[in-house]
Structure 1
Amino acid sequence: MKELSIFVDESGDFGVYDYHAPFYIISMVLHDQAVNIVDDLKILENELSNIGWPKHSVHSGPVIRSEEEYRGYDLKEQQKIIMKMMSFVRRLNINFKSIYIEKKHIEDSIEATGKLSKQLAVFIRDNYAFFCNYDTVKIYYDNGQVEVTRILSSVFNALLENVEFRKVIPADYRLFQVADLICTLKLTELKMENHLLSKSEIYFFNDERTLKKNYLKPLSKKEL
């Protein structure tokens, strides 16, 4: 039985437009279960432990913005956490896909849901042979936003016959945390392209050249 796991995370919300959160993003990490990542996981756990974050569930946005449990740590400490996650992603044999909308052009949540659903449908149709190569496609999501759950359920079930859904706890799956990282970096890329980077983002990444070289370019090689 060939199984494909898809870990899904989102960035943003379906509320009214706010210039602080101008985009809505859904990112999907695709992992062929025949590809063993146990050794890669062990390396990540050891690396996080070595820098003082053993068994820690990484939440990339707050790391970059110095929020929540990352508040009070110096820049180099925060950068180490993200770089360990980036090294993990580089080693992994995975793919990803991000779909997004710019909220200022969206009237309401109905239009937002429709546009994202269409993008997801196009992605599946464009890679239909790839998905049909698997006996089972399992979607892992934390059900954090009901609109995303509806989009995933309606589109995947409409286009594929071999889909199952699993509710996850983010701390239990490193690949879910990778999806979170990809969402965060995609948001940062979109903000950079639209000259909307915050002071904390500029401070964390130093400059756009470093952001592109160390984060966006390596990540782009994994995009399906």
Structure 2
Amino acid sequence: MNKKILSVFIDESGDFGKYDPKSPYYYVSMVLHDQSVDISDEIKSLEERVSNYGFPNHAIHVGPIIRREQVYKNELMENRKSLFNALYHFTRKADIYYLCAKIDKGECEDSEIAYIAKISRAISDELKDNIDFFNSYDLIINYYDYGQNNLTKIITTVFTTLFNNVELRKVQPADYKLFQVADLICTLELTKDKADKNELSNSEKEFFGSARDFKKNIYKNIEKKKLHK
């Protein structure tokens, strides 16, 4: 009998630095894919679209696309939206799910230790709420780029405390489309929380429209991919 294997692609938005009211949140997204489910056609289609837009073998970074930064600084809005839509519609169509743990750093003591404790609890709570789902797999493989050492330790500790069938693998973002989806999820969850408070930046308003437009046209479809217990 073949093993049931779950891939978990993990990305973060935020840091462990001193609390900044302009950037108070920390998000950890976990994109879930049952390895027995073939999504190769969707991946091939995404790769072709991104290559046709002039970005072969490219890891899409959603935040810089919205803000017109880094490699996207000279790209027209039309081109940036095409790249965003390629990853967005891939996420909608692929047979995957996600969880997103989040904290407001302003709600805890302004220290790295306090942030670590609260983020650990937030991730643990998301996993515990869906414990039967995770326990249905023989092996859980976590994919992370080791971008933040503290988060690497948190992921390792929380998952191995709850499960005895976990592996952690380092990834290069360009090699895994689902890691790029994890980046997308972090950005959209953050944007949704900002939209709820009418705090969208000018770049976000230019890219998505109003807070209502974003929630109706973008977030509503992505939220359907959230794993529910």
* Range into which the TM-score falls when normalised by the shorter chain: over 0.9
CA–CA distance in structure 2, aligned partners of residues 50 and 109 of structure 1 = 43
Q: Which residue of 1 aligns with 2:63?
A: 61
| Alignment partner of 1:50 is 2:52 | yes
Unaligned runs of 5+ in 1: none
- State the partner residue of 2:90: 88
1:1-224 correspondence runs (5 A): 1-107=3-109, 108-224=111-227
Query: Segments of 4+ in structure 1 off by > 6 A?
Result: none
SS state at 1:164 partner: strand
- Partner of 2:150: helix, strand, or coil? helix
Structure 2 CA distance for aligned equivalents of residues 47 and 214 of structure 1: 21
Q: Report how many residues are paired.
A: 224
Distance 1:122 1:208 in 2: 28
The one-letter code sitting in structure 1 at the alignment partner of 2:219 is L
Percent of matched pairs sharing the same residue: 46
Of residues 75-84 and 207-216 in structure 1, the stretch that sits farther from structure 2 once superposed is 207-216
Task: Return the alpha-carbon distance in structure 1 between the equivalents of residues 40 and 66 of structure 2.
Answer: 27
SS of aligned partner of 1:100: strand
Give the CA RMSD over aligned residues: 1.2
Structure 1 distance, partners of 2:174, 2:21, is 30
Aligned equivalents of 1:88, 1:99: Cα separation in 2: 22
Are the aligned partners of 2:6 and 2:139 in contact in 1 as well (CA < 8 Å)?
A: yes
State the Cα deviation string for residues 11-47 of structure 1 (Å, max 9, x = none).
Answer: 0101112233221100000000000111001111122
Cα distance between partner residues in 2 of 1:56 and 1:138:
23
For residue 170 of structure 1, report the CA deviation from its aligned partner.
0.9
Structure-1 separation of matches of 2:116 and 2:24: 16
How far has the Cα of 1:54 moved from its partner? 2.5
- Does the 8 A contact of 2:42 with 2:90 survive in 1? yes
C-alpha contact 2:198 2:211 (8 A) present in aligned 1: no
Query: Equivalents in 2 of 1:4, 1:49: separation in Å?
Result: 28
